[in-house]
Structure 1
Amino acid sequence: MAELGIREELKSGTPSRKFTTSLDDCAFVSPSNDDQQLLAVPFCGSIRDGMRPGKKITIMGIVDSEPDSFDISLTCGCGDVALGLSVTFGDRQFLRNAYVSGSWGEEESAISFFPFISDQPFRIEIHCEHQRFRILVDGQPLFDFYHRVRPLEAIDTIQISGSLIITKLN
């Protein structure tokens, strides 16, 4: 499991993007071993030792009762976005993209089903493999996202914002 720590500073200048994340007032919280503790949203935390093949991040939460969207980003500090996930409820999309060297790549949107329901819990797993991230929701594989940022160890920050409550983060 990914070990998350406190992110001591968030540099200004988050890339302008289609995703709706706003982390200007990011709450800096360190996950507790207490499974019931709710983590403040927006959340910004460090991924200890960065990503590497075999590492997994698990995000458990509850969708708000009247959700608009939520975003999850794995970033290199506050620069490149190695994996930007954006869930939008109005059009039932789960978008993903990467921001590398000052520009966004081609956005991916194809999914076989939309896994999120208002007021319901969910579990997102982000598995880092040699060539890609594999994303599972509630134990079901949903899509793969091939790495656009190297080295993987540079991916050291997770940011979460939007219409959700985080209940556990590993």
Structure 2
Amino acid sequence: MAVQAAENDGINVEEDHLNDSLGNPGLISPDKEDLSRLLTVPFSGRIRGGMRPGKKIIVMGIVDLEPESFDVSLTCGRSEKEEPPYDVALKLSARFTDRQFLRSARVSGKWTEEEASTVYFPFIPDQPFRIEIHCEHQRFRIFVDGHQLFDFYHKVKSLTSIDTVRIQGDLQITKLG
């Protein structure tokens, strides 16, 4: 059974590359480029139409053999000049040295305090994982490998302005949706 991003929304990998669902052959480009090249880390891809309640982002990957950390962020805009972008609606940070899965946001140029309350650390070196970020009216709900880990209440109120997924660190991306 195909797992689809809500309402067939997808992530544009570069300008013309689109992933509508995890059940499709994957990222489809007009010139049939190699998928592994499109999913290289660091990764930046557009969320078509921005976020809204009912939409979800799925990141599937494999943790590197000797990881230090990796981040998955939902940001406002794709400005390559400003690092990080002006507003970061959600930044999920997996830190292996202290086995923490942190979350934070950046609004009007200022980072919020990192939240760190998780019951367990869900990532294992050299093992696959699946992160689901569900957008609801008041919050993001984060699942890893089917287990709900935490909620993160919206700091960026304009959900449609959240239009980019950024992934970096010690992992390989296998699928996006």
Give the shorter-chain TM-score range.
Answer: 0.7 to 0.9
- For residue 160 of structure 2, give the secondary structure of its aligned residue in structure 1: helix
Rg bigger for which structure?
2
Opposite residue 136 of structure 1, the aligned amino acid is F
C-alpha distance in 1, partners of 2:143/2:111? Answer: 24
C-alpha distance in 2, partners of 1:102/1:115? Answer: 30
TM-score if structure 1 supplies the norm length?
0.83
C-alpha distance in 2, partners of 1:158/1:67? Answer: 21
Among 131, 137, 141, the residue aligned to 2:148: 141
C-alpha distance in 2, partners of 1:94/1:7? Answer: 28
C-alpha distance in 2, partners of 1:97/1:80? Answer: 11
1:53-64 matches, cutoff 5 A: 53-64=53-64
In structure 1, the partner of 2:25 is: 34
C-alpha distance in 2, partners of 1:6/1:115? Answer: 26
In structure 2, the partner of 1:68 is: 68
The reply to whether residue 163 of structure 1 matches residue 170 of structure 2 is: yes
Q: Give the gaps of 5 or more residues in structure 2.
A: 28-34, 78-84
Q: Give the gaps of 5 or more residues in structure 1.
A: 9-27
- For residue 117 of structure 1, give the secondary structure of its aligned residue in structure 2: coil
Q: RMSD over aligned Cα, in angstroms?
A: 1.9
In structure 1, the partner of 2:80 is: none
- Identical residues among aligned pairs (%): 63
In structure 2, the partner of 1:120 is: 127
Query: After TM superposition, which residue ranges in structure 1, 4 or more long, deviate above 4 angstroms?
Result: 28-33
C-alpha distance in 2, partners of 1:67/1:30? Answer: 29
- For residue 92 of structure 2, give the secondary structure of its aligned residue in structure 1: strand
Among 107, 118, 127, the residue aligned to 1:111: 118
Opposite residue 48 of structure 1, the aligned amino acid is R
Q: Is the 8 A contact 1:98 1:105 kept in 2?
A: yes
- For residue 91 of structure 2, give the secondary structure of its aligned residue in structure 1: strand
Deviation at 1:35, TM superposition (A): 4.6
Deviations 1:41-76 (CA, angstroms, capped at 9, x unpaired): 000000000000000000000000011100011000
TM-score if structure 2 supplies the norm length?
0.80
